[in-house]
Structure 1
Amino acid sequence: MLLAALAATPLPTETLLGEGRYRLESEIGRGGYGITYGALLLESEQRVAIKECVFPGCGREQNNIVVVDEDGAKFLDAWGERVLEQAKQLKAIEHPHLARVFETWRENNTVYVAMELLEGPTLHQHIEAQGALDMQEALNCASELAGALAALHKHNLVHLDVKPENAILTERGAVLLDFDLVQPCDEKDISTRPLSLSGRIGTPGYAPPESYGEHAPQGAASDVYSLGATLYFLLGASTPPSAVDRAAGVELPALDIAPHLHSALEAALQLPIDARPLSVQAFQELWTPPSSPALTDADDFSFTAHEANLAQSRLASGVYRVVLTHSDAEFPQRCACCFEKAERDADIVVNSPSGRRYVPGCQACLRHQSVSRAASSGTGWGAGLSVPLVTIGAYLCATSDSFSQLGAGLLFCLIALFVFFTAINYGALKSSRAEEFLKSSCCHPVEPVTYSFNGQVYIWRFKNVMYAEEFKKKNAPFVV
C-alpha cells in the first residue's frame, strides 16, 4: 500500500525540471503509465504540458522514480528508452490535429516529455454532456482524427490508443493526443508487441483484438479499428462491445445511421485485421457519401478536415428538394453553398414570390455570388441597351433620304455593336473572376438555394446534397 501511495504522489508545485527551464504549476491528469502536469517554460512564459513516465512497479522517493518490483525494472529499462526514441520521432511531425511534442529528456531516473498544452473538453466529455453528434459533426471529427493518424502512419508510427478520451475539442477542431502506446512499424506496416508492453492493451471497446496478444501483428489497420469504434461512439453515444466480447458472440448493436456509414463502420470493426480497410484513407473513402467523390490523398491533409470529407464537384448539377409543412425552417449552421461553418452577417438572401428568406452562408460564397450576379446583370444591361440602339439605327437607315441620315443610322448600329460586345466581355471577365472565388466544395456560383410556397407546402431546393441532408434531419417532423 505504501508503494502504491508513493507511485501516485505527484511532484510538488514549483518543482523545476529540464535543467531549470520548466516550472511545474499543477497536476492536470494521470493514467496507468504517468502523470501529466501543467508547466511554464520560463524563458518564453509559454504554458506547456509535461508527461512524467511513472510505470507499473515503480514508486517515488523524494523526486526520484524508483523500482519496487520486477515489472518496474522491465518498464523502466525497456519502455523508458522506447519513449525517448518515439518522442523524438513525434517531435518531427506537425499536423493541426495532432498534439505537438516539443522535447524529451531523462531526469529523476525517469523520462519526461514536454508537449503542447491543449484546452477544451475531450470528445468523450462532449458527448456525455451534449449527446450523440449529428452525422456531419461526427464525420468532421473523424476526418480530423484520420488526418492525424495519416500523419503518424506516414512516419511509420501507429497510435494504438485512439478513443474519445484521447481527443480534445479545440478551436482548430479535434486534436489527437496521448502517445503512451505509440509504436513503430516496419516497411510492411506491421509491428509486434514487445514483451515490455504485455498488458498494455488500450481501452476495451476501442482496442482491436490483436491488442490483447503479445505477438499478434499490428499496423495501420489497428488504428482503423479504434477510429471506427470512436466514430461509432460519436454517432451513437455508446461504446461498442469489446473485441473480446464480440469474439465470444456479442453482437455489435446497429445504429440508426445512413447505409453507407453502417457499411463503413462494419468494415472498420471487423475482428480479423486483414478484413479491415488497410489505411485510414481507405476507411474515409467508405464513409464519404455516395454523392461526393472519394478522397484518396489523405496522406498529408493540407486542407480542413470537413473539406476533405465533403469536397464535391464544382458546380454540381443536382437539385435536392425538401418539402416542409411548416414555414419556420431550422437551418444547419453551415454555409448552404460550400458547407463550411457559417459566418455571422453572411446570410444568403433567397428571394421568391413567397417572400424573402435568409439562409446561413459565408463571406467567400457571398463574394462569388455577388460577382456572378454582376456578370449576369452587366451582360443583360448591355444586351438590353443594344436592342433599341440597333432599332433606331435600322430605322434611320431604312428611311434615310440623305447621306447624313444614313450616316447617323450606321453610327447607331456601330454604337449598338460596341455596347453589346463590351457587355459580353464585361460579363465574361466577371464570370472568370467569380470562378476564382469558388472553392472545391461550392455547389453553385449564384443560387445554391431556392424557395417557394404553393399554398400548401414550403418547397426548398438545394444544390448542396450535404446541406439538404442536414436540413432534412433538422426539420424531420415537418418533412413531407
Structure 2
Amino acid sequence: MIRCIVCDTENPPGAAVCAACGASLRGDPAAGPASSLPAGTQLHDGRYSVGRVLGQGGFGITYLGADAHLRRVVAIKEFFPHGSQRREREVHPTGGVTMADFRASRERFLDEARILVQFHHPGIVDAYDTFSENNTAYMVMEFLRGRSLMQLLEETGPVPEYETVEYGTRLGEALEVVHAAHLLHRDIKPDNVMLTDDGRVVLIDFGTARTFAAGKTGRMTTMVTPGYAPLEQYGQHVRFGPYTDVYALGATLYHILTGHMPADATDRATGAPLAPPRELVPEVSPGVSDAIAWAMAIRVDERPQTVSAFVDALRAGRGVARSAAQPAAPAPSPAGALPLPEPATGRAATPDRSSDLDQPVGNSPPEYELDVAPESAESPAGGGPFEVSVAGETLYFPEQCACCLQPSDARYLTEHTGGDGPFFLFEETRGWEVPYCSQCLEHVSLAATTPRPGLGRLAAGTLVGAALGGPVGMLVGLGSAAASSIFGSAQHGARLQSLLRPTCVSAGPAVAYLGWNRDIHRFVFLNRRYAEAFAADNEQRDAA
C-alpha cells in the first residue's frame, strides 16, 4: 500500500495519484492534485496568483495564493466538484453530471462566499472576494496559518478538559453569530476548526451552511458527516435549528476530549451505545461529561436548544462562568485576533497610514498616581477584565507598569488591525505604546515563546481573540501567575515564575487594544487600578 503524505489515505500499489485528495504519489506530492492549476497561474485579470495546493475536497481545490493588489497571502478556493476534469484551464463536468447540475452546484459554491462575507468575527473565516472564471467559480479567503483540531488530536492525542472547554466556548461564540443570522453551519467537525498561530479558534468550510426558520419544518439537502451529524440531518422534511449544530459541536468536543470517534447517530437510534466521556476518560469532571452527553441527545427536544445554553452548561461543569464583560456584538475588525507582540521598545507607535496616532503617549505627568498594593492586599486585578473606551487623537497612560504598577522604564506595544470598505479591503494597523517595566516585558516575552503552542500558551497569559469576547473572555483566565505551571518546559516555567511580582496581574500581556471607531478607542486592561486611572485621566483631559 502507498500512503498519501497529504491526506494520510492508504492507496493500492502502483497508484499514481491519491484516490482521496488527488495528490501525486510520485515525485513531489507538494505539486498537488494532478487536476490542479499550475503554480503561478494568474486569475481575475492578474490580481491573484495560485501556488501550492492546501487541500482538496468533494467540491473544490484550495490553493495558497497571493493578492497582487494588496500584497497579502490569501487562500483561493476553486469550485472543482468530484468527477470534474480540466481542459486547458477550464473546468467541465464529466460522467453522469449534467451541465445544469454543474451550474446549480456552482451557484451553491458561490452561496458560501455570500454567507461568509456578512460575518466579521475572529472565530469565522473571512471571505474577501469571489469571481467566475475558467467555467468555474473562485472564492478568495484569509489564509489561516495553523493546524486543525483533527491535526492537534492526531499529533498530541486527547485534548485536556480545560482546553476542550475553551475550544467549545470559542466555537460557541462564533456559532451564536451564525445562528443570529438564521444560518446553520451543518458540518462542524474537528477538520473544520482551525487553531491559528496567533491564537484564534476559527470555524471554516461553510459550504453546507443553510438558512433555517425557527420552530418550522423545512427541506434541506441531505449532507452529513457520520459521527458528527445529528439524526435529523439525515432526513429532508424535518425540523432544523441551532440544536442541529449543538449536536455536532458536542460530538466534536467528545472526539477531542476522549480520542474516540462518536458513534453514528443512525446507529445510536437503533440501540448502539454512546459511552459518556467520563467513562472513557475518568479524569473528566462529571459536569463536563454530562454537558457533552446532553448536547448529543438523539431527540431534538432533549438537547440544549441554543449554543449558549450548551456553552453555559459546559463551563458550569468545569466550574467557570462566562464573563459578563463579553461584548454581545462582533467588532468591525476583519482580523479580529490580537497577536502575540514582540517586547516593545521605547519608541512611540507609528502604524502604517495612521498619522493621527503618530503622537507620543504618556508625554506629560499623569494626573493619577497608582499605589502599588502590598503583598497582603487584594490583587489589583479586582476581578477583571476591564474594558475602557476613550476619545482623542492623543491618549495619556499613567507612567507606571500596566501589569504590576511599578515605575515604568519601558513600553509595551499593543496593536489592532481593522478596516472598512467592500470586503474590508482598506485595512490598517494602529497601535499604542503602554508604559511597562522591563521585568514584566521579559515575562511577557517568555509567555509568547512558551515551548508548547495552543491553549497552553493562552492559559499562560496570551491575549488573543477579538472584541466579540475573544480577548475579553481569554483575559479572565490569564490573571493568575500559577498559569506558568502549564508550560511545556519546567525550566521555562521556573524562569517565568521568578519574574512575576506579587502585584502582577498576568504572565502575558495585561492590556489589549480592541480597535477604534473614528476617534473612540477601546482597550481591555487586567489591572483595575490602572484601568480606572487611564479612564479618569483621559476623561479629565477631554473635558478640559
Q: What's the TM-score once normalised by structure 2's chain length?
A: 0.55
* CA contact 1:207–1:226 (8 Å) conserved in 2: yes
User: Which of 412, 418, 433 is matched with 2:529 structurally?
Assistant: 433
Counterpart for residue 90 of structure 1: 116
TM-superposed CA distance for 1:115, in Å, is 0.3
Counterpart for residue 429 of structure 2: none
TM-superposed CA distance for 1:222, in Å, is 1.2
* CA contact 1:343–1:362 (8 Å) conserved in 2: no
User: Which of 206, 215, 219 is matched with 1:192 structurally?
Assistant: 219
The structure-2 alpha-carbon separation of the partners of 1:240 and 1:346, relative to structure 1 and needing over 3 Å to count, comes to closer
C-alpha RMSD over aligned residues:
4.0
* CA contact 1:246–1:252 (8 Å) conserved in 2: yes
Q: Deviations over 1:262-285 (max 9, x none)?
A: 221111101122321121111111
The structure-2 alpha-carbon separation of the partners of 1:294 and 1:46, relative to structure 1 and needing over 3 Å to count, comes to closer
User: Which of 478, 481, 496 is matched with 1:340 structurally?
Assistant: 478
Is it true that 1:252 corresponds to 2:279 in the alignment?
A: no
The structure-2 alpha-carbon separation of the partners of 1:271 and 1:360, relative to structure 1 and needing over 3 Å to count, comes to farther
* CA contact 1:342–1:362 (8 Å) conserved in 2: no
Counterpart for residue 305 of structure 2: 278
Q: Deviations over 1:376-400 (max 9, x none)?
A: xxxxxxxxxxxxxxxxxxxxxxxxx
Counterpart for residue 453 of structure 1: none
Which consecutive residues of structure 1, in runs of 5 or more, have no partner in the other structure? 306-311, 316-331, 348-356, 370-430, 438-480
The structure-2 alpha-carbon separation of the partners of 1:225 and 1:363, relative to structure 1 and needing over 3 Å to count, comes to farther
User: Which of 126, 131, 138 is matched with 2:164 structurally?
Assistant: 138
Counterpart for residue 250 of structure 2: 228
1:340 match: secondary structure: coil
* CA contact 1:159–1:223 (8 Å) conserved in 2: yes
Counterpart for residue 208 of structure 1: 230
TM-superposed CA distance for 1:68, in Å, is 2.0
* CA contact 2:185–2:208 (8 Å) conserved in 1: yes
The structure-2 alpha-carbon separation of the partners of 1:335 and 1:92, relative to structure 1 and needing over 3 Å to count, comes to same
Counterpart for residue 391 of structure 2: none
User: Which of 48, 57, 63 is matched with 1:22 structurally?
Assistant: 48
Counterpart code for 1:60: R
Counterpart for residue 296 of structure 2: 269
User: Which of 88, 97, 105 is matched with 1:79 structurally?
Assistant: 105
* CA contact 1:10–1:27 (8 Å) conserved in 2: yes
Is it true that 1:152 corresponds to 2:178 in the alignment?
A: yes
Rg larger in structure: 1
Counterpart for residue 353 of structure 1: none
Q: Deviations over 1:142-175 (max 9, x none)?
A: 1111112112112222111111111111122321
Counterpart for residue 314 of structure 2: 287
TM-superposed CA distance for 1:314, in Å, is 3.7
Is it true that 1:366 corresponds to 2:498 in the alignment?
A: no
Counterpart code for 2:130: T
Matches within 5 A, 1:305-344: 314=383, 334=459, 338-340=476-478
TM-superposed CA distance for 1:338, in Å, is 4.9
TM-superposed CA distance for 1:73, in Å, is 3.6
Q: What's the TM-score once normalised by structure 1's chain length?
A: 0.62
The structure-2 alpha-carbon separation of the partners of 1:275 and 1:19, relative to structure 1 and needing over 3 Å to count, comes to farther
Which consecutive residues of structure 2, in runs of 5 or more, have no partner in the other structure? 1-14, 24-32, 279-283, 339-380, 385-455, 462-474, 486-493, 507-526, 534-544
* CA contact 2:199–2:337 (8 Å) conserved in 1: no
The structure-2 alpha-carbon separation of the partners of 1:363 and 1:273, relative to structure 1 and needing over 3 Å to count, comes to farther
1:277 match: secondary structure: coil
Counterpart for residue 395 of structure 1: none
TM-superposed CA distance for 1:190, in Å, is 6.5
2:146 match: secondary structure: coil
How far apart, in 2, do the equivalents of 1:68 and 1:432 lie?
64
TM-superposed CA distance for 1:178, in Å, is 1.3
Identity in percent: 30
**Alignment coverage as a number of residue pairs:** 340
Counterpart for residue 445 of structure 1: none
Is it true that 1:172 corresponds to 2:199 in the alignment?
A: yes
Counterpart code for 1:186: A
